[in-house]
Structure 1
Amino acid sequence: MSTEPTAADDKIRCDACPVMCYIKPGAAGACDRYANLDGQLVRVDPHILLQRTVSHGGRLVPFQTTGDWDGKIVHEPHIFVTAVGAGTTYPDYKPAPFIVSSEIDGVDMVTVVTEGIFSYCGVKVKIDTDRYLGPETATVRAQGEAIGHVTTSEYGSQMLSLGGVHHLTGGSKKEGRVTCDALMDLSNCKPVELTIDGGATVVVQAGHAPIVNGVHEERMRVGCGSATIGMFAKQWQGKVDEVVVVDDHITGVLSEHQAGKMLDIPDTGIKMKGRRSTPGRYFQVAEPGTGWGGTNISDPLSVLGSFDAKKARAGLTMLMVSTTGEHAAFYQLDAALKPVEKQMPPELQASVERIKENCEPALCTVLFMAGAGGSLRAGVTDNPVRLTRSVKDALTRVTAGGAPVYVWPGGGITYMVDVTRLPARAFGYVPTPALVAPIEFTLRLSDYAALGGHMDHVRPLASVKDNIEMLQMPASPKPGEWT
C-alpha cells in the first residue's frame, strides 16, 4: 500500500487493486476495504493476530484483549500474524505487506503475510443429503446467473463446483458480479440460495444444514442400501422375514444379500424392479428425487414386482426403510401375496431409530480453492518459482488466515481451505471482479534467505504494534464457531 496516495482534488487514490479508486474524505473504496480518513488511506478491517493455545487443542483463536490494547504482545512465541486485514502486494512487484520474524522453540522463523487478489478461485461445496439436487454437469445459478455446476456425488453427499475464472471474467458483467458476491458470501459463512437447472433450490451455508426446496435436511444417510443391510442384518434376524433398504444408488434386499445368506435367512420370493448388480444389490430401482432414499417415489411398494408364489407365503413380514430411517413401513403378505401395511412392531421401530442414530447430522461444507500465481509469489521472493519448490519440498508451510490448507500436487500453489476454520469476514473482494483472501507462508529464516526472499523487509514480531491499522478485536466466539 502506498503511504503517499496520489491526490486528485480532495480525493486520494487507492493502489490496493487494479481498480485504482479515487476516494473522497470519509468514504470507502469500491471494495469497502480501504477508506479516506483525514487524507490518509487506511484499512477499514482490523489486521488480525492469532494466539496458539494448548487449551483448545492447538487450534488458532483470535488474539484479543478485554481492555485498551497497550501494544504489548504477550506470549510472543505463540503469536501468529495472519494476512486478514494485512493488505495486498498489488501492483505485485512490491514485497508482501508484512514479513515478520520470530523465534519458535529456538529456531528463527519468518512468516510472509499478504492478502491475495484471486481471479482464479472458486469454492467446492459438499452438501450432506440424499435428496436429488440435479443432474451432473447441470448449471448452478445465483440470482438467475450461472456461477458453477453440479459435479460427481460422493457417499451420502451432493457436490457443487462454483466460481472459477470463466464465471468471474468470461461471461457478462452481471455474471461476474453475482459470482463474486456468491463466492464471498459462501466463504464468509453466509447463506446463499442456489438454483440448479432441472433440479432443486438449495440454501447453502458453511457449517449449517442445507435447506432443499424449503425443507431443512436433518441427516445424511448411514450408507447405501447394501451397506445398511450389512450393518443391521444381525439386528433384524428373527424379527422380520424380509428387509428392503430403498436407495437411489444401491437398494439392498436382506434375503438375497450375502449378509442374509450368512445368517441363514430363507428366500422370500421377493422380486425387485431395477437392474440387479450382485445378489441383494439393485441399481436404478427408481429415478432420483427427493422421496424415499433419494429416489422420486413416495410409495415404496412401487419398487417391487410380484412375489414368487413358490417361495412366498401368506403372513410373511417385510420392513421397508430408507437409508436415513426418515421413511419406514412394515408390511405383511395377505392370502394373495400382496403386501398390506401394518403397525410397526416396537422391535423393528427400534432398528429404524438405530439407523437414524447412525446417520450423521447433515451439513454444508465450503472449501475455498485458489491458485497463488506468480504475481502473488513475487511479494515473497524475487524468484517466484523457488517459493513453489519450497512449498512442495515441505520447507514452507502455507496457511490461510492461520487455518491449515491442502496444497494440490503438481505445478503452482493451488490450495483449498475449510472456510469455517478462518476468522469471521476473512474474505473480501475487488470489483475487477476477484476475491481477496488471506495467505501466509511460514518457513525458517535461513530458508527464506536461500530462496531469495525480501530480507531487507523482514521485521520483528514486536514491531507489529506500530501498525496503525491494527485494531482491537471484539470478544471471540468459541473455536469452530466463526459466524
Structure 2
Amino acid sequence: MTEHTKVDFGAERVDGETASTPGPTVLEKAAPRSERMASNKIECNACPVLCQISEGRTGACDRYANADGRLIRVDPVVFLSRAADSPEAITSNADTTVEFGASSEVRDPVAEQALFVTGVGASSTYPDYKPAPFIVSSKRDDVDMVTVVTEGIFSYCSFKVKIDTDRFLGPEQSNVRCHGEIVGHVTTAEYGSQMLSLGGVHHLTGGSKKEGRVTCDMMLALGNKEAVELTIDGGASLVIRAGAAPIVDGVEEQRMRVGCGSATIGIFAKQWFGHADEVVVVDDHITGVLTEHQAGRCLGMTPSGLKIRGRKSTPGRYFQVANPGTGWGGTDIQDPLAIVESFDPAVAKPGMRLLMVSTTGEHAQWYELDQNLVPRIAAMPDAVRGTVERIGENCEPSLATVLFLGGAGGSLRAGATENPVLLTRAIKQRLVNVTCGGAPTYVWPGGGITVMVDVSRMPDRSFGTVPTPAIVAPIEFTMTYDAYRDLGGHLDAVRSLESVLANGPEHTEGAPLARRTIARHPDNPWPPAMPPMPG
C-alpha cells in the first residue's frame, strides 16, 4: 500500500507514502457495505472514522488497507517471548514474522507457554460490544489463566515527561508548543527534574483541527520513542526522546543534580572539612552555606563572615538567591560571586579559602580572600578538586522519561465483559493485572481504570493513531479463569494459546492473521505482570 485514503468526515489528510511494514495480513471479512459507498471501496469499522478505502490505498490511520478488494491489517500482532532470560525458549522465531498456523510453526508446549500475546497490532474492536480480538487462555503453575488483549482508542490520554536537569525550562503553568500549537504545559518541578504534561483530551479535541492533529502527531512520536521538538513560552527550546538525554537550547544535558544545595552540603561536608573554610553550593531552589549549615556546625566549623543574597530559611539554607536560568545550579548567574553580598570584616580574615560549586559539579571555582577581603581566583587544591569530581560522579545521567497516562475506564471494557464495572472492580481488588504491550503499569486509585506506563519498556512502535484524533495503545488484562468467569467475561470467545497459534483469530473481524515474536524487555517481569496466585 502506497497511498492514504481521503476520509469522508472532513479531516484534512493528504495522500502520501506509507511506512514499509513486513507481511500485510488479510482480514477474514470487511464491515457491511454502506449504500453510499462506491463499489471499489471497502468500509473499515476498526474505529469511529469508518474510512471508505479505495483499492490500493490505506485507511487514514495506516493500519488497514484495501488490497484487491480485501481489507487487510498492515501490521502483525506482537507476541513476547521470555528469550531475554531463557535463550533456549523460542529462539527460532525471535524477531520474525510468521502466519498463524504456518507449517514451520514449532509445536512445542513448553515453548508455547513462554509466549505472551500483546495488544500491539492486535486490532481494535469498534463498536466495543464485540469481544476483544484475543481472549487467550494459558497455564501458569497448573492454574488456568486468561488474558484479554486489544488495542484501545484513547482520547483521554496524555504523556507525563520527566526531564532530569537543573536547567530552567520555563515558568510553571507555561504553555508547551509543538509547531506553534499549544500541546501541553509545564507542571510542578520534582527533585532534580523538570516535569511536562503533554497531550490530553482538551488539546486533542477541544481546540482547532490543527491543534488536534499536531497534538496527536506529537504524542504518537513520543510514545514510539522518537525525538520531538518543543518550545516553552517564556522558556527554553527542547528536543525530547524517551530514554535519551534532553537537549535544552541546543545543548545536550549531561547530569542530573546530586541533590539541592543543602543536601549537597550534608553529603560532602566531612570531605570539605579541613580543606576549605567556606563552601557555597549554588542552587536555584535551596543554596547551601557550609559553616552556617547544621552539617558544618556539627563538625565544629567557625563562621566565615560570608553574607549571601536571597531569603534565608533555616541556618545555612537560602531561597531565591537568583532568578531561574541555565547557569550555575539552574540559576541565571554566570559569575557565582554575584550572589555574595559581602564579607563581615569582624569575622572574615585574609587568606580564607572559599569553594563555590553547583549541584552537578559542572561549575566550580576556588577563591582566596586578599588583604581587603576581596575573593580572588586561585588554583584549586587537588583534595578539593576531588570532591568536585565526586559530586559529578554521584550525579545520575540526565534523561527524558516518557510515561503514557491513559483512561481505559470506557467502552473498551465491553470487549472483556458484558458488565464493565466488574472488570474495574476486579482490577482495584488486584484480581486483574493490566499491562501495555507486556510492560507493567501503575493503576491510579479512585474511579475508572487510569493506567500509567513507561514507554521505554514497551515494544518499539507500540502506538498508533486514528484521525478523530486519538491515540491507539495496546492494553492487556490478565487474570485467573475463575476471576474472568466471575466478572462475566466472554467465555465463549476464550481460546487456548495453542489454538491461536494454529488457527489465528477467528471470533473477531479485523484481527490480524500473522504474528511477530520479539524478546521481552529485560526489565519487565515474566510472566508479564500476572496477578497474585491463589493461596
TM-score range, shorter chain: over 0.9
What secondary structure is seen at the aligned counterpart in 2 of 1:305? strand
Q: Which amino acid aligns with 1:427?
A: F
Instruction: Measure, in 2, the Cα distance between the counterparts of 1:63 and 1:134.
Output: 48
Q: Which residue of 2 aligns with 1:173?
A: 209
Q: Which residue of 2 aligns with 1:209?
A: 245
Instruction: Measure, in 2, the Cα distance between the counterparts of 1:151 and 1:176.
Output: 21
Q: Which residue of 1 aligns with 2:191?
A: 155
Is 1:18–2:48 an aligned residue pair? yes
Instruction: Measure, in 1, the Cα distance between the counterparts of 2:520 and 2:440.
Output: 19
Q: 1:302 aligns with which of 338, 346, 353?
A: 338
Instruction: Measure, in 2, the Cα distance between the counterparts of 1:5 and 1:62.
Output: 36
Q: 1:321 aligns with which of 341, 354, 357?
A: 357
Q: CA deviation at 1:65?
A: 5.9
Q: Which residue of 2 aligns with 1:3?
A: 29
**Could you give the per-residue CA deviations for residues 289-315 of structure 1, whole angstroms, max 9, x where no partner exists?**
000000000000000011000000111
Is 1:28–2:62 an aligned residue pair? no
**Could you give the per-residue CA deviations for residues 326-366 of structure 1, whole angstroms, max 9, x where no partner exists?**
00000010111011111212111111100000000000000
Contact 1:48 1:62 in 2 (8 A): no
Contact 1:28 1:35 in 2 (8 A): yes
Instruction: Measure, in 2, the Cα distance between the counterparts of 1:399 and 1:34.
Output: 25
Contact 1:242 1:268 in 2 (8 A): yes
Q: What are structure 2's unaligned runs of at least 5 residues?
A: 1-26, 506-511, 525-535
Q: Which residue of 1 aligns with 2:23?
A: none
Q: 1:71 aligns with which of 105, 110, 122?
A: 105
TM-score, length of structure 1 as denominator length? 0.95
Alignment of 1:414-453 (within 5 A): 414-453=450-489
- Among the aligned pairs, what percent are the same residue? 63
Q: Which amino acid aligns with 1:72?
A: V
Q: Which residue of 2 aligns with 1:190?
A: 226
Instruction: Measure, in 2, the Cα distance between the counterparts of 1:451 and 1:23.
Output: 38
Instruction: Measure, in 2, the Cα distance between the counterparts of 1:62 and 1:219.
Output: 41
Q: Which amino acid aligns with 2:457?
A: R
Q: Which amino acid aligns with 1:344?
A: M
Q: CA deviation at 1:280?
A: 0.5
Q: Which amino acid aligns with 2:504?
A: N
Contact 1:51 1:62 in 2 (8 A): no
Q: CA deviation at 1:27?
A: 1.6
Q: CA deviation at 1:24?
A: 1.9
What secondary structure is seen at the aligned counterpart in 2 of 1:378? helix
Instruction: Measure, in 2, the Cα distance between the counterparts of 1:370 and 1:66.
Output: 30
User: Structure 1 288/210 Cα, relative in aligned 2: closer, same or farther at 3 Å?
Assistant: same
**Could you give the per-residue CA deviations for residues 1-46 of structure 1, whole angstroms, max 9, x where no partner exists?**
8823345311111101111111122221100111112322121112
User: Structure 1 61/164 Cα, relative in aligned 2: closer, same or farther at 3 Å?
Assistant: farther
Q: CA deviation at 1:56?
A: 7.1
Q: CA deviation at 1:55?
A: 2.1
Alignment of 1:106-185 (within 5 A): 106-185=142-221
Q: CA deviation at 1:449?
A: 1.1
Instruction: Measure, in 2, the Cα distance between the counterparts of 1:198 and 1:443.
Output: 48
TM-score, length of structure 2 as denominator length? 0.86
Instruction: Measure, in 2, the Cα distance between the counterparts of 1:310 and 1:326.
Output: 33
User: Structure 1 104/30 Cα, relative in aligned 2: closer, same or farther at 3 Å?
Assistant: same
Contact 1:61 1:479 in 2 (8 A): no
Is 1:276–2:306 an aligned residue pair? no
Instruction: Measure, in 2, the Cα distance between the counterparts of 1:178 and 1:377.
Output: 28
Contact 1:50 1:62 in 2 (8 A): no
Instruction: Measure, in 2, the Cα distance between the counterparts of 1:62 and 1:281.
Output: 60
Instruction: Measure, in 2, the Cα distance between the counterparts of 1:294 and 1:477.
Output: 38
Q: Which residue of 2 aligns with 1:397?
A: 433
Q: What are structure 1's unaligned runs of at least 5 residues?
A: none
Instruction: Measure, in 2, the Cα distance between the counterparts of 1:291 and 1:67.
Output: 50
**Could you give the per-residue CA deviations for residues 41-89 of structure 1, whole angstroms, max 9, x where no partner exists?**
12111201111357279xx999626697623354222211111111111
Please provide the CA RMSD for this pair: 2.1
Alignment of 1:347-358 (within 5 A): 347-358=383-394
Is 1:39–2:69 an aligned residue pair? yes
